[in-house]
Amino acid sequence: MEEDMTENISKILSEIDTENLPVHIGIIMDGNGRWAKQRGLPRHLGHQEGMKKVVQIVEACNEIEINNLTLYAFSTENWKRPSIEVEALMNLLVVFVRKELQRLHENNVKIKILGDISKLPEVPLREVHRAVELTSDNSGMTLNIALNYGGRQEITKAVIDILTDVNKGNINIDGIDEKTISEYLYTKGQPDPDLIIRPSGELRLSNFLIYQAAYSEFWFSDVLWPDFNANHLYRAIVDYQKRNRRFGGI
C-alpha cells in the first residue's frame, strides 16, 4: 500500500486492465484537517487544498472511463463540528461550483447529490441545484457528491418512503426485496461501489454507503486527501484488480 507514489503515471496506467475496471468507485475524502495541522495552518486551508483535488481526481477517473464516482464531501455527523468550520465547508462548496462546474460540464460529467440537501444553507443549496440541473442531460461519468449524507439516514428515509408507498397502495409488501431497497436509496439506478478508497489512515466507513458497500473492495492509504493524486487512484485500481471477489461463492 505504501509504495512510492512518485512513480510514472503512464507506467501505472499501463498496468490497469481496461477490461476489469471498477464500474463505481467511492472515495472518502479525509485528512484535510491533519494536512493543515502538519503545516501549522487553519483547518479551512486544508479543506481548500482538498477541494482542489476533486477536479483532478474526477478527470483521472474520466480518463480511464470510470462510470460512477462517489465523493464523500460532508456527512450527517459533520454538523457536530464548530460552526466556523461548517461555514467554511459550505462556502467552499459554493466556490467549487462557481469555479469548476463549467469544466465538469465540458467533460460531459453528470452531477448527482446523495444526501438530504434540504438542510443546506440557501446559497450552497442554490449552487448545488444549478450544478445538478446544468449537467442532468450529460451522458458521461456520473459524479455523485455525498452531501449531508449518512448511510443510516439514507436507510431510515428508504424505510419511511417504502412504508408510505405501501400505505398508498403503490407497492405491495410481498413484492419488497433487496432490489426494492436499492431503488429507494439515493443511489437508485446505479451499481454498487466496486471499490471504496479512504485516505488519511482511518480504517472505517464513517457511515458511507453502508448498504451499497456489502461486497465492495476497500483500499486504504495513510496519504492525506490534499496529497492524494491520480497515481494513488490508479494504484488503488491496480490493487483492486488483483483481488479475488467471491461474493460468497468459491
Q: Is 27 in the site for Mg ion (CB under 5 A)?
A: no
Within 10 A of 226 (CB to CB), how many other CB atoms are there? Answer: 25
Task: Tell me which DSSP letter residue 228 carries.
Answer: -
Q: Which region among 27-35, 127-135, 172-180, 181-189 touches Mg ion (by CB under 5 A)? A: 27-35
Q: Is 32 in the site for ligand IPE (CB under 6 A)?
A: yes
Choose, by CB under 6 A, the member of 26, 33, 124, 151 that binds ligand IPE. 33
HSE (side-chain half, CA atoms, 13 Å) at 110: 11
Q: What is the CA radius of gyration of the chain?
A: 18
Residue 200, burial from CB neighbour count under 10 angstroms (0-12, 13-18, 19+): buried
Residue the block writes with cell 446523495: 114
Choose, by CB under 6 A, the member of 62, 78, 138, 241 that binds ligand IPE. 78
Q: Is 129 in the site for ligand IPE (CB under 6 A)?
A: no
The residue type of 91 is N
Residues binding ligand IPE: number (CB under 6 A): 17
Q: Is 26 in the site for ligand IPE (CB under 6 A)?
A: no
Choose, by CB under 6 A, the member of 48, 76, 144, 200 that binds ligand IPE. 200
Q: Cβ 75 to ligand IPE, closest distance in Å?
A: 4
Q: Is 92 in the site for ligand IPE (CB under 6 A)?
A: no
Q: Is 25 in the site for ligand IPE (CB under 6 A)?
A: no
Task: Tell me which DSSP letter residue 192 carries.
Answer: P
HSE (side-chain half, CA atoms, 13 Å) at 151: 12
The residue type of 164 is T
H-only helix segments in 107-150: 122-135
Pick the catalytic residue: 8, 32, 62, 78? Answer: 78
With contact defined as beta carbons under 8 Å apart, do 104 and 136 qualify?
A: no
Q: Which region among 2-10, 29-37, 90-98, 229-237 touches Mg ion (by CB under 5 A)? A: 29-37
Q: Is 186 in the site for ligand IPE (CB under 6 A)?
A: no
* 76 touches, from ligand IPE, Mg ion, none (C-beta below 5 to 8 Å by class): none
Q: Is 30 in the site for Mg ion (CB under 5 A)?
A: yes
Among 57, 18, 25, 4, smallest CA distance to 228 is for 57
- Cβ closer to ligand IPE: 99 or 243? 99
Choose, by CB under 6 A, the member of 22, 26, 31, 199 that binds ligand IPE. 31
Quote the strand ranges of the chain, DSSP E: 24-28, 68-75, 110-114, 142-149, 195-198, 217-220
Choose, by CB under 6 A, the member of 70, 75, 212, 231 that binds ligand IPE. 75
Is 78 catalytic? The answer is yes
State the distance between the two ends of the chain, measured CA to CA, in whole angstroms. 26
Chain residues binding ligand IPE by CB under 6 A are: 28-34, 72-75, 78, 89, 200, 202, 204, 206
Known catalytic residues are 30, 78
